[in-house]
């Protein structure tokens, strides 16, 4: 093992190590945030899809054959 580094030289290594940890955490949080915004977009799309489905009621069923009416 080398002798202990002076504070001015050791400081940059210590700072680098803690910055690596912070950077990893920030990258992870940024990725999670982008996933969250994707989920948000999907929620909006699904809400629009539900709105469209409720606005356009399904077409009425075809009328039953009027056999009796024709017979008259």
Partner 1 sequence: MLVLTGAFAMVFFYAPLDADQGFVQKIFYVHVPMAIVALFGFVGGGICAVMYLRTRETKWDMRSYVTIHLSVILAVGVLITGSIWARASWGHWWVWDEPMLVSFLIVFLLYATYWPLRFSLEDKEKQARYASVFAIVAGAFVPLNFTAVRMAEQYIHPETFATTTGGMPGKFALTFVVALIGMTLLFFTLVKYEMASKHATFRLRALRRKLAGDDDDLMLTGRSAAPQL
Q: Is 28 in the site for partner 1 (CB under 8 A)?
A: yes
Q: Is 55 in the site for partner 1 (CB under 8 A)?
A: no
Q: What is the DSSP string of 21-66?
A: HHHHHHHHHHHHHHHHHHHHHHHHHHHHHHHHHHHSPPPPPPPPP-
Element (H, E) at 1: none
In this structure, what token pair is assigned to residue 22?
């912070």
Q: Considering the complex, state which of residue 1 and residue 55 has its C-beta at the smaller distance from partner 1.
A: 1
Residues near partner 1 (CB under 8 A) are 1-2, 4-7, 10-11, 13-14, 16-18, 20-21, 24-25, 28, 32, 35-36, 38-39, 42-43, 45-46, 49-50, 53
């Amino acid at each position: 093992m080398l002798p202990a580094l002076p504070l001015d030289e050791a400081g940059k290594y210590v700072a680098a190590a803690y910055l690596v940890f912070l950077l990893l955490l920030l990258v992870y949080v940024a990725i999670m945030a982008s996933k969250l915004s994707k989920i948000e977009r999907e929620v909006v799309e699904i809400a629009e899809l539900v709105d469209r489905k409720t606005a356009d009621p399904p077409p009425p069923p075809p009328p039953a054959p009027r056999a009796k009416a024709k017979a008259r």
